[in-house]
Amino acid sequence: MIFSIGALLLLYACMREDPAYFTHKPVISQDVDTDELEYQLVWSEEFNEGRDANGKCALPGDKWMFEVGGHGWGNEEEQYYVDRVLGTDTVAKIKDGVLIISAIKLNTPYEGRKYISARMNTKEYWTYGRFEMRAKLPSGRGTWPAFWMLPRNMQSVRDGEIDIMEYVGAEPGLVHFSAHTGAYTPAVGTGKNARIMVPDCETEFHVYAVEWTEDYIAGFVDEERYFTFMNDHQGIKDTWPFNVPFNLKLNIAVGGSWGGYDGIDDTIFPATYEIDYVRVYQRIP
């Protein structure tokens, strides 16, 4: 039995391995030098850390920083974000090659909040590239997982936001992509966004990705492009702030102005967001 399990795990690991670079068709139809289509893997988190000698799961390491707090995060969210562990509860751990971010309902509220979760960010920032995550999304009314990007020293929506994947548990199967700027924001009815049905997103892993260049931002699920936002090349920050380094963010919010618009089902907890890998590719000069 031990040999069989080991062999299966080895086979699975080999099946998941990607080449060091790949060729990707440009979104815009134009003549482009072939070299410009090659992307190199420049950063990745595969979450392959094993358990310790006592069988305890590993925690995300030094590639990540965790935000903490329970002030609503601008969206009236109900959770308190903690750094990996709170008491006997773990909100971010690595198990069997997968990062598991959990939203947990507490028996005793913490800092006035009855839910805890994780909001984790890459320490590294990038300008342009293909950013992707292979993940299985949490289910249940009140969950609001995301895979997204913000610039360093974010001050307002004018600085830009790229939401590669957002999902609201009250709308099963409906995945969203958005790009926010000062001029293009849902707050004034000009949001740049799209949505796509992924019926089994809660039970199967899918790849959620953005291709971000100086000309466009494009959103994908499993290589199907369903969102494109073009740079108007006017040099105006309110319409295109996407020319500075951004980092990647992973989190599950609970409730909030969008995630909790239909209430929170307290029977669903703990809710889990499972991430197989996060990878960053950039074009070879």
CA-CA distance, 212 to 280, in Å (whole number)? Answer: 11
12 alpha carbon, distance to own chain's centre: 23
Task: Determine whether 166 is an active site residue.
Answer: yes
Q: Which of 45, 77, 132, 161 is catalytic?
A: 161
By C-alpha distance, which of 167, 24, 18 is closest to 101? Answer: 167
| Number of residues assigned to the chain | 285
CA-CA distance, 256 to 259, in Å (whole number)? Answer: 5
Q: Which two tokens stand for residue 81?
A: 């974000």
- Indicate the SS3 state at residue 4: helix
Task: Count CB neighbours of 114 within 10 A.
Answer: 18
By C-alpha distance, which of 113, 70, 76, 106 is closest to 263? Answer: 76
CA-CA distance, 199 to 143, in Å (whole number)? Answer: 17
DSSP at 75? T
CA-CA distance, 224 to 141, in Å (whole number)? Answer: 27
Q: If you write DSSP's letter for every residue of 146-169 in order, what string do you get?
A: EEEEEETT--SGGG-EEEEEEE-T
Q: Which of 45, 166, 211, 274 is catalytic?
A: 166
Active site positions, annotated: 161, 166
